[in-house]
Amino acid sequence: MAATCLTGLDPTSYQPHALHDSRRNWPETNCYVDLWIELLNSLGHNPTAALGFTVAQDFEGDQFTFFKFPAEDLAASYGVSVQELAIYDTVEAHTIEQLQRGRPVLVEVDSYFLPDTQGTAYRTTHGKTTIAINHLDSERCALHYFHNAGYFALSGADFNGIFRAEPNEAAVALFPYVEFVKLGASPASDSLPQVAITLLKKHLRLRPSGNPLRAYQQAFATHAAKLTTRPMEFFHLYAFNTSRQFGANFELLMSHLEWLRGQGESGLDTAIQGCEHIASGAKTLQFQLARAVAKHRFDALENALSSMAEAYELTLDTLYERYCK
C-alpha cells in the first residue's frame, strides 16, 4: 500500500525555509525543531511566528534544554494538534492509516539509515533522531520524509532499517515513539502576531530564575576536565548539546523578534542585538573549544562566556520589561 499526506512535494527540488539558510550561524538546530520548521512551511504556515518559547531555555547541568515547539503553541498558532500514536501493529501499517487521513507521522528512527545524514551518521553511526513521514509506499519500500533542514527520500535497505526489518535486527526490539499531526482545526481567533505576543509573555514568565550562561560558565571547568579524557567523537556530542543548542536557540529567538518588529512591534532592537551576539558567539566558542580540547587549554574561553552571559541578561531583561511589566 501507499499513501501521501501533502501532495506536490518533491525531494529532488524541495527548497528549505529561510530559517535553514546556509548563511545563518546555525542553519540547523535540532532534529525536532528543524523538521517542524519545514513541515509548518509546507503546510503554508510561517514557523517564525511560534518561536517565542526559546526565551525559556535553561542550562540543565550537563546540557542546555533540547528546545522544542510546545504542542499547545502549535495548536494556538496554527490549529494543528500533535498526538501520540499507539503502536500495536507494524509502524508502517499505522503510518499508512494516518497518512490516508491527511496526517503527517513523526517517528523516532536510527540516523544510521537516513541518507540525508551522509558524512555524519549515515551507515557509520547509530543515533536517535525524529523524522516526519509524508509519503510511504510499503510495496516499493520507499518513503519521503522531513528531517533536519529539508525533505528527503529513502528506499530499499534504508527503509527496512528504519522499520527494523533488516535480517540482523533484534526480533524483540521495542516499538519507537511515534506521533501524528491532526490538521484542519481553527487557530485562536486573534491574529497571528497577537497570538505570538501572548505566547511570548507566557514563556517569559517561565524564564530561568538565574542566568543559564552564567551557570554554564561556572560548570565549564568540570566539563573541560572531562573533555580532555574523552575521544574527539565525544566532543562532537558535547558541542551539539551545549554550544549548538544555546546558539541555535537564540538565533531562532532573534528571527522571532525580527518578525515581531516587522509586524509593528517596537522596542526590540536591543534584544535582537543581544540574540545575535549569543548566536554568533556560540559559533565562535564551538570552534575555539575544538582547538582547546586538542591543546588541553581552556583559559581563553572565559571572556567569551562572560560576554554572552551579559548579552543574555540584557536580552531577557529587555523583553521582560517590554512585555511583562
* The residue to which cell 583559559 is assigned: 299
Q: What percent of the chain has pLDDT over 70?
A: 96
Provide CB contacts within 8 A for 230, sequence distance 6+.
Answer: none
Provide the percentage of residues in the chain whose pLDDT is more than 90: 83
pLDDT confidence bin for 164, thresholds 50/70/90: confident
Q: Domains of the chain (ranges plus CATH)?
A: 2-44+81-182 (3.90.70), 192-323 (no CATH)
Give residue-wise pLDDT tens across range 43-83: 999 999 999 999 999 999 999 999 999 999 999 999 999 99
Q: Give residue 86's pLDDT.
A: 95
Angle (CA) 185 176 132, round 5° = 45
| pLDDT, tens digit (0-9, with 9 covering 90-100), for 182-193 | 998 777 667 999
- pLDDT tens-place string over residues 110-154: 999 999 999 889 999 999 999 999 999 999 999 999 999 999 999
Under the banding of pLDDT at 50, 70 and 90, the label for residue 173 is low
pLDDT digits (tens, 9 = 90+) for 205-242: 999 999 999 999 999 989 988 998 998 889 999 999 99
Summarised one tens digit per residue, pLDDT across range 10-46 is 999 999 999 999 999 999 999 999 999 999 999 999 9
